[in-house]
Amino acid sequence: MSLDDCRMIELPKIHDQRGNLTFVEGDRHVPFDIKRVYYLYDVPGGSERGGHAHGKLQQFMIAMSGSFDVVLNDGDRERRFHLNRSYNGIYIAPMTWRYLDNFSSGAVCLVLASAYYDEADYYRDYASFESAAQASRT
């Protein structure tokens, strides 16, 4: 997996004067079956979240409200995305180091995940992630 596998995906948007509606279907709009949903909220200004990678987990992040930046790194290259629309999300492939910053006030980050929470799937140390990522490319 590399940074090129991570991408912004535009979700369907049903325009309505009563309020817009967006939906996400597993294995259709996101390239995995959705097993878990969690969200970050009440994030204080200046905070950073994330700062880890996953060996197998696939994720999809949406700014449900407000905005923030998602910085992705595959152990070789880094890319910064800005999320500020409820109908856009970022697909994060396995073996991608990520951190989130630049949260606006009231921002809510919704995360769809391909598996249950499993601490054993985390890389929390950048140096070990980087060597594992480089080894997987050779």
Site for ligand TYD in 117-136 (CB under 6 A): 117
Select 87 or 99, whichever has its Cβ closest to ligand TYD.
Answer: 99
Select 41 or 117, whichever has its Cβ closest to ligand TYD.
Answer: 117
> Under the criterion CB under 6 A, does residue 49 sit at the interface with ligand TYD?
yes
Provide the annotated active-site residues: 52
**CB count, 10 Å around CB of 17?**
5
> Under the criterion CB under 6 A, does residue 7 sit at the interface with ligand TYD?
no
Cβ proximity of 98 and 92 under 8 Å: yes
Choose the binding region for ligand TYD from 26-34, 48-56, 73-81, 126-134 (rule: CB under 6 A): 48-56
How far from 65 is each of 8, 11, 48, 68, CA to CA, in Å?
17, 15, 17, 10
Select 20 or 104, whichever has its Cβ closest to ligand TYD.
Answer: 104
Best CA proximity match to 96, nearest among 136, 66, 63, 38: 136
Q: At 38, which helix (H) or strand (E)? A: strand 36-40
Buried b (16+ CB within 10 A) or exposed e, 107-124: bbbbbbbbbeeeeeeebe
Among 31, 50, 66, 94, contact with ligand TYD (rule: CB under 6 A): 50
Site for ligand TYD in 99-118 (CB under 6 A): 117
Contact residues for ligand TYD (CB under 6 A)?
Answer: 36, 38, 40, 49-50, 52, 117
